[in-house]
Structure 1
Amino acid sequence: SGLLMSIIRTLAASEDDHQRELEKERLEEAFTENDEKLDVLVSENYEELAVTIKQFGKIGDRISQSRQRIRKVKESLQQCKSLLYCRQDEMRKLWVEGVEHKKVLFLLDQIERVKEAPQKIEFYLSKKHYLHATELLIQTLSALEKELVPVEALNDVRNELISKKLAIHDTFISELHRQIYVNSVNAGMATKPDKQVAKIRNAAKLERRNSGEEDGRIDDDPLNLMTVLVESLSRLHRIPDMIEATKVKMDRHINMIVTHATVEVTDLAFDDENKDVDNPKRLLQLLNSLFKKFYCIVAAHKHVLKDLKTAITTSDLDTQLYDMEEIWAKIQSVLQNLLNDYLDADNAAVTSQLSGLSFTESAISMNTYLREQRAQKRTHSVEGKVCKANPRNITLIFGPLKKFIGKIEDEQDYPDGKMCALHEYITDYVQDIFIRQIQYELKKDFDSAMKVTDPLKVLADLATQQSLGNFKSLLHSAVVADKCLWDLYDLTCSLDSYHDHFLTMACSLMQEYKEMSIQSYRGVTQPESEDQQIVSASWVRQSEVTEVLTAMDNWKAVYSGRSTQQQLKPAQIKAVDVNFIKEAQFLMDRMEGYALAKNSLIEDTTDLKAIASLHESLEWMTGRLGTFVTSIQKYAPPDTLSMLKKLAQDYKNMSEICLLCLHIEMRLHCFYHLVPMFLNNSYDIRGLDSMEHDFQITKLKKDISSAEENLSVSLNEKKYRYVFEGLGHQMAAILMWGAKHIKRISPSGVKKMCRNVFALQQLLTNLTMSREPHLDMARQFYEMMYLMPDDLQAQVVEQGVRYSEEDYVEALNLLHRSKPGSGNENAQHARVQRLKGIVQEQT
């Protein structure tokens, strides 16, 4: 068509016929060319074209037929329209009747569904399909309040469903609480396959069987059920009621958790072979169980709060939610009440707040209820508790409590320095109640051990000493002090947050025991009379004495692994003798011109035993305190460690003072009894009546035997030997020193002196189990008195030098005094000079 219009425009615009002719010729050529092409195409596609023309013909025929049928239909419709118009009223009536019948059928169907609704709702509830039950209830009530209002026959059903609607939200809230406080706990505890949880799991299975909820017929996922219940309550527009009920019943449900956990622990305790009603480990078991349950409850509440926020946002409600701080606050409050009871914070049994709670309100089964009742009856001896109330229960539960408190403060994101309520309660309890209780108990035990008439004479019982390492004479006070010390160590470890308090108490305890020990020691060694002084106690306070004595080998042997004298080699025995001789001479020099009174000695040998017991106890305490210091390294600050180490050193020094005092005291007894034998005395005995040993020897033997009797049961072998070994050397030194004070000595006097030596030797042999050869030298010294003055020089030449030059001179002088006709002073002087020359030559 476009080409045609172009040609027309060209012809119309032509100026003359010639141009038109040219255009005509051009068109004719084009038409001719097209005809030729068409002929070629027709010849090439003849068959297809023929078929197409044939098909086109058929289509044309069908179109013609269709037009004829349409025409007939139009005519028929026109006729129908004419006829219907004639019967318009009858048709309208039939249409109205049809609509009415449809409505009746719809209402009948609704009535049928309404009649079945209560049963279906109960079925859904039994299957825990709470959302289905909620939707059906809402839809049914909506139908009853609209289309079915006129149906009076449905009034009973209507009233039943209205009542159900009013009650179902309470059912949902109770079920939600059950999921939070029971099922979520059971599900959480089921991951802990211990004996206690097995009992819980069995109880839960029993409960499900009794309620017909088992074998997969219900959805047992607590979190999923909580979400469904919140959504159901939201659709019932009962979210505010649910929030309020949760707040109101929160305390009751948490208390019920404590009751159930208590029953579970007491059940286990009843089944346990050890039925000790006062076992604090059960309180620890109870708290560990409660902590796990509380974690499950907190997790459940977090899930519910998340669902509630979604429901409130969706429903655009204006209501106030509870928060996790309220949950933790309730848990802490319940725990405080529980701890207040078991820790005896009010110093009285607290009536349980859980006793009046109904078990059925937590939806537990009757079997579970009866089981718990039986358990409470079986544990009636502890009034339904897992153990007796005792402040020391805190030591066992402090660690888990501290961990639980840390969890609370982390969950609540407390800033540094701020404490949760439970943390404040524990802090106040420990600082204001428990530490004071410990101080009271320690003081009571300490005073009972120390505030006695003779604390140094009250020993620990044999069984206690053996259990501590077979010590011979530990003081009861030392054992009590040690018990208190290690009790404080246990408290330091158990309540590590308060280690400063307990370590300070330990320092005070050890300082007080040190002062009491010093006081007790002074009670024995420092009489009240001002003119009375115990010499041995006075000497051990003088550094020049203690430095000399502690430098001796016999002192060093006490604290080394040196063998006894019987096991030493000859060379070692000689070295020991030299040590004893050196010590004996040191004391002889100090006693030169020193007069001992009777009241300057410790007369009561039981006091020696007391000092020995104090020594052993202080030395033992030194080791115990050293072990204590090592054990508290990770707790104690440097100043506390330094103080305790100093106290340990003070104990060591005090124990050494006690041992040195005993050592010196025994030697002073020798001076006290033996020195008077020689002062202004004469052994010029002429008859046989006085041949027995001197009465001073008898007294000395009595003193030493009594001392040995007391010290042998108080000192260990090394210290016993330190006190008594070397006494023979001291006695020998005193005996030989006495020669210069004897006016004259006769052969009978020499025999008496030998008897004195023999009596002492016999005494010491029984004590030290050695012959005490140095007393042999003392006897042999006096046997030289049988000689004449000139014979003494020959004996020195013949036997060699056995005594000191001074001893030989005093022996010669005594011979001159005892042998009439020995010569004048010049002769005596000449003999002395010759004797000195011989001794010097021999040495």
Structure 2
Amino acid sequence: MQRYPEQMSPTPRKPPRGKYSRETYSTSSSSNLLMSVIKTLDASENNEEREREKLKIEKEYKKSDKRLAELVSQHDSELTKTMQLFSKISGEVDFSREKIRTVRENLQTCKQLLRCRREELKKLYTDAVKNKNVMQYLDHINELRNVNSTKFASTLQKKHYLKATKMLMNAIEISEKQLKAVEGLDELRQDFLNKKVHLYTRLVEEMNKHIYHSSTTEVLSNFQRNNSARISSNHIQSPFQRTTVRKSADRIEANTKAKKALQEISQNGYVEHDLEIIDDITLLDPDINSTYFIGIIVECFALLNKVPESVETMKVQMQFELLAIVEKTTSYIIDMRQRNVLGPKSIVENGEFNLIDVPFLELLDLLFKQFQLIAVAHQLTLKNYGNVIKRYQLNVKSYDLTDFWGQVQAVLQLLLTDYLDIQNTGDDEIRISFPEQQVNINTFFSRRKNTSKKTLFRFDKSSHTTDVVNSNLLDVEHRGHLRNLSNVSTSSAKDIITSISSKKRREKLFVCRPDPSLIRKIFIPMLAYIHTIESNANMKKNGQVSSLHDFLTTYVKESYLSRGHNRNLSMTIESLSKSQDAWKAIITPEEMKKLGLNRPLLQSCRVVENLIVETKQLIQDLPLYHEDLLKNVCSLLKTYRETCQAAYRGIVQPETEDKRIYSVTWLKDEDISRFLKTLPNYLDLKTANAKAKRGRLKTEMSEDDSPTQIQQRNVREAEMLTSNLGDGGISHHEILSDIGVLKELAILQESMEWFAYRINEFATDLKKPITCVSKGANLSTLPAELTQPIVIKDGTIKVLTNLALEFDELANICLLVLHLEVRVQCFHYLRSNSSDKFKDNNPNKNDTLEPDTKVLKLTKVLSDLDEAFSSTLHPRKTKYIFEGLAHLVARILIMTSNSLESLESHAIQQMIRNSLALQQTLSSITAQREHQLDHARKYYEMLYKEPDEIIKDINEKGPNYSELQYLQAFKLICQGRTNENGENLLTIYQQKLNHILGTKQAFGVQV
């Protein structure tokens, strides 16, 4: 619009209208003035007033006119400009009116023309709409072609799952909505549904791969690196094996894209198209790779409307995938061991594994590490499921980690069932307890009529069979063996089911032989695993106990201990009590060397001791059951003690009770038993044995054991035994004449003493706190009851100590019986029927060059006993048995003079021969000259002297014998002799002897 120059000046202002100056009128409104004039004229009575009023008004008018003229003169230029502007504006308005009039006329003309071409325009519009729809259909068809072409397959091959899912779901939506009416696309729609099933199966497999396989590869790789001395440089690196990788720009870009994609999915619920385009997924870091794919796959499940089905599939396939992990790890360990990667110490010559506990512990450790990583992957999966369910507002109940750990427990139970051989153990028990059926075997050989097999009807076409096949097919789908169930026929389904059942029947792989004793090596590590499972599953907060814990404790208590270890103990003790040869069988020389012994032991003692050692190790391996184990051991030791006591009674009293064994009868006498146990040689023997057990035996003789003291105690023992026996003899049935029996008794003594020491050592070890240390367990993961040292109750230790004392007491009884039996044998052969020795019918009466027959038998018996005891008893005990025996024999020989009726030369010579023979035998046994038998020999040589010579020797040398022994010698010498006065010489020498012995002390050796 053109601007005029006048418009640049200030716009003139219009003066106010209808207002009067305040200087002239008091009123401010013209209307008020007019009303006042009207009222004045109306109120005037004559013309004069009106004239005055008129003049007044005119006068005022003139003033106003004058004032107006002044104002006009003052604003003349402004008024001129205003008039000019008004005229211009008026012209523009007229021009605009004219243009509007022209436009209106044109519109009227156009309207008239449009009315004339209405049908033609309608047709063009309809064609345009049709063309637009056709273009949209073509675009949709192009999208469908992309899904049905190789582009979709290549997208899947590149693992661009989110892009492929969007393509497929967009195609399905188009085919079911925009192109629903197109009948020619029915086959394509079915193909899309099949692709949807295939994509869902592929996504499930990929999800399982990242949860169960990719996340656990690092465990096996680390295991191989830690145990292999050499690893091939060409070894294929797993995507989860953390190695130094070149940091390239592509790698950084790929990881950045993956992180951004995950962030977009979690925040917005969608991802930009270019963020998922990662052509080389190997550039992703392992942790980002797994996180990225799990997030993408869960988002794909949501787009496929398969979130409920995928959750259920994850729950169903848990156990199958965990079992696959077990099988894979088992095969891995077996392969490593076959290639000798784990070291030569783990394999024996035949290819069988040594240390069967090591492979199983390795298997459990590797499995649990993998299970923990799988739990982390499941936790990530659940987080993504939670975001998807919340974002899409789905009414779906997802699984939780409690379900996963429950499946882990079930898999571990199956694993323990196989490796602990629970199934076979249970079958054996059932077979043992199942009664044998009484079947007539003749019925199997009787002639029967051949019956033809006729099929009445078949079920393969029934609905029930179809349902069974379909259910089996669903199970196969869950296990990932089928890709598209819609095209599977009934026959092929049967073939698949048959192949699966045949796979199940294949022999299972084991890293070691199944053995119930494996529980001892895995118990503490399993408790650590259970503690971790219960912590991860939040069972501790609710006070719950895991099913795996119940399974493990129930198996240990009711199966392994009750029907295994405890039953073995009971059956062992029972077999020992029933077997007659159990107390004759001894350990082999190899076992003696292994135990550091030089004397044999009873095989039964060794067997029971092995059971105690096994129990001790069981307490270390199964610390929660130490009370039950020790209680059972104490009970069985009591039974074994009674069995040993019965065996002792069977040795010393094999026949009826009315026939007594004199040595046993003596030992039952409290006075004799107390006397023998208080003798210094017995006390020294027990002290020496105790020191020898502790390895601190001193070989030198005690300072208190002087030769005089040894002689005095031997004399006391001989006097006590002879006084207790009296003048009677001991018959043959009152002695243990069988050397084999005495040898058995000696072996029993050694065995009981050794066994008592082992029990006492076991009780001493139990006083120390027991710590639970295991190779396969981390103490930080153990429950509180196992991290604290286990303290055994004092009552249990006291019971074991008392049992050790009872076994030691039985050993002492056996030793004392042997000690007394040797002396009883001497009494038997030297005093039995002594009055018949020198009668006329005695065959040795005139044979003075040979000892008495029974003396010869005694020497042979003593030699046999020495030989038997030397091979069965410790030398200290053999010395204790034969020590002091010469004093007793000498005393018996001297006392034999009481049975002589007259002083005959051949009798004296024979007694001298007897003394020499016994002295020779005992000296060879004790390895020192037995002077006590010289004393007996000199006694009989003294009988050749006259009484005066004997009296003279007593006066000069002192008495060497007792008064009764001298009187017996005088009685034999002076028998029937008188002096010149007719007095009895015996009376005379008796008086002299009384006079001499009353004033002189015996400083010789008296027996």
**Is TM > 0.5 for Structure 1 vs Structure 2?**
yes
Counterpart of 2:293 (choices 211, 222, 225) is: 225
Distance in 1 (CA, whole Å) between partners of 2:754 and 2:937 is: 42
Listed as ranges, the matches of 1:531-680 within 5 Å are 531-561=658-688, 572-633=706-767, 634=790, 636-676=792-832, 679=835
Counterpart contact for 1:677–1:696, Cα < 8 Å: no
What's the offset of the Cα at 1:218? 7.9
Q: CA RMSD in A?
A: 4.7
Listed as ranges, the matches of 1:373-392 within 5 Å are 384-392=509-517
- Alpha carbons of 1:551 and 1:778: their partners in 2 closer, same or farther (altered >3 Å)? same
Letter of the 1:537 counterpart: V
Distance in 2 (CA, whole Å) between partners of 1:244 and 1:507 is: 54
Counterpart of 1:321 (choices 384, 390, 398) is: 398
SS at match of 2:406: helix
Greater mean deviation of Cα atoms: 194-203 or 288-297:
194-203
- Alpha carbons of 1:687 and 1:486: their partners in 2 closer, same or farther (altered >3 Å)? closer
Greater mean deviation of Cα atoms: 526-535 or 145-154:
145-154
- Alpha carbons of 1:729 and 1:829: their partners in 2 closer, same or farther (altered >3 Å)? closer
SS at match of 2:902: strand
Counterpart of 2:365 (choices 277, 281, 288) is: 288
Counterpart contact for 2:886–2:930, Cα < 8 Å: yes
- Alpha carbons of 1:214 and 1:748: their partners in 2 closer, same or farther (altered >3 Å)? farther
Greater mean deviation of Cα atoms: 403-412 or 150-159:
150-159
Greater mean deviation of Cα atoms: 673-682 or 644-653:
673-682
Distance in 2 (CA, whole Å) between partners of 1:424 and 1:200 is: 45
The percent of aligned pairs where both chains have the same amino acid is 27
What's the offset of the Cα at 1:697? 0.8
Distance in 2 (CA, whole Å) between partners of 1:478 and 1:799 is: 57
The residue aligned with 2:882 is 724
Listed as ranges, the matches of 1:168-317 within 5 Å are 168-187=199-218, 190=221, 192=223, 193-195=225-227, 205=237, 215-216=282-283, 221-272=289-340, 273-274=347-348, 275-276=351-352, 280-281=356-357, 282-317=359-394
What's the offset of the Cα at 1:231? 2.1
Counterpart of 1:530 (choices 632, 653, 657) is: 657
The residue aligned with 2:985 is 824
What's the offset of the Cα at 1:96? 12
The residue aligned with 1:833 is 994
Greater mean deviation of Cα atoms: 172-181 or 133-142:
133-142
Distance in 1 (CA, whole Å) between partners of 2:1003 and 2:708 is: 20
Listed as ranges, the matches of 1:408-807 within 5 Å are 408-410=533-535, 411-414=537-540, 418-434=544-560, 435-561=562-688, 572-633=706-767, 634=790, 636-676=792-832, 679=835, 689-807=847-965
Distance in 1 (CA, whole Å) between partners of 2:543 and 2:659 is: 62
- Alpha carbons of 1:661 and 1:362: their partners in 2 closer, same or farther (altered >3 Å)? farther
**CA offset digits 1:289-335 (Å, max 9, x no partner):** 32222223333223222322222122111122223333233233333
Q: Does residue 521 of structure 2 align to residue 396 of structure 1?
A: yes
What's the offset of the Cα at 1:604? 0.8
Greater mean deviation of Cα atoms: 451-460 or 752-761:
451-460
Letter of the 2:994 counterpart: Q
Distance in 1 (CA, whole Å) between partners of 2:932 and 2:829 is: 19
What's the offset of the Cα at 1:760? 0.5
Counterpart contact for 1:792–1:812, Cα < 8 Å: no
The residue aligned with 1:7 is none
Letter of the 1:600 counterpart: E
The residue aligned with 2:466 is none
Greater mean deviation of Cα atoms: 447-456 or 625-634:
447-456
Letter of the 1:653 counterpart: E
What's the offset of the Cα at 1:646? 1.2
Counterpart contact for 2:902–2:975, Cα < 8 Å: yes
What's the offset of the Cα at 1:715? 0.4
The residue aligned with 2:494 is none
- Alpha carbons of 1:310 and 1:206: their partners in 2 closer, same or farther (altered >3 Å)? closer
**CA offset digits 1:509-540 (Å, max 9, x no partner):** 21121111111110121243232111211222
SS at match of 1:319: coil
What's the offset of the Cα at 1:252? 1.9
**CA offset digits 1:582-617 (Å, max 9, x no partner):** 222222222224432221111111110011000000
Greater mean deviation of Cα atoms: 784-793 or 721-730:
784-793
**CA offset digits 1:115-140 (Å, max 9, x no partner):** 65665654554444433443454456
Counterpart contact for 1:535–1:601, Cα < 8 Å: yes
What 5-or-longer segments of structure 2 have no aligned partner? 1-19, 26-95, 242-278, 341-346, 428-474, 483-504, 690-696, 768-789
Distance in 2 (CA, whole Å) between partners of 1:768 and 1:357 is: 88
What's the offset of the Cα at 1:14? 8.4
- Alpha carbons of 1:564 and 1:327: their partners in 2 closer, same or farther (altered >3 Å)? closer
SS at match of 1:743: coil
Q: Does residue 162 of structure 2 align to residue 164 of structure 1?
A: no
**CA offset digits 1:66-119 (Å, max 9, x no partner):** xxxxxxxx9xx99999999799989x9999999999999999888777765665
- Alpha carbons of 1:457 and 1:163: their partners in 2 closer, same or farther (altered >3 Å)? closer
- Alpha carbons of 1:144 and 1:534: their partners in 2 closer, same or farther (altered >3 Å)? same
Letter of the 1:833 counterpart: N
Q: Rg: which structure is higher?
A: 2
SS at match of 1:840: coil
Counterpart contact for 1:743–1:817, Cα < 8 Å: no
The structure in which a higher percent of residues are helix is 1
Counterpart contact for 1:474–1:617, Cα < 8 Å: yes
What's the offset of the Cα at 1:424? 2.5
**CA offset digits 1:413-452 (Å, max 9, x no partner):** 1578753222222333233332213344334444444533
Greater mean deviation of Cα atoms: 98-107 or 491-500:
98-107
Distance in 2 (CA, whole Å) between partners of 1:83 and 1:467 is: 133
Listed as ranges, the matches of 1:337-376 within 5 Å are 337-347=414-424, 361=480
Distance in 1 (CA, whole Å) between partners of 2:717 and 2:794 is: 42
Counterpart contact for 1:184–1:296, Cα < 8 Å: yes
- Alpha carbons of 1:827 and 1:802: their partners in 2 closer, same or farther (altered >3 Å)? closer
Listed as ranges, the matches of 1:60-209 within 5 Å are 121-139=152-170, 163-187=194-218, 190=221, 192=223, 193-195=225-227, 205=237
Counterpart contact for 2:539–2:545, Cα < 8 Å: no
Distance in 1 (CA, whole Å) between partners of 2:551 and 2:950 is: 93
- Alpha carbons of 1:477 and 1:214: their partners in 2 closer, same or farther (altered >3 Å)? farther
What 5-or-longer segments of structure 1 have no aligned partner? 1-10, 17-73, 351-355, 364-379
Letter of the 2:283 counterpart: G
Distance in 1 (CA, whole Å) between partners of 2:936 and 2:998 is: 23
**CA offset digits 1:754-789 (Å, max 9, x no partner):** 211110011012211111122222222332223221
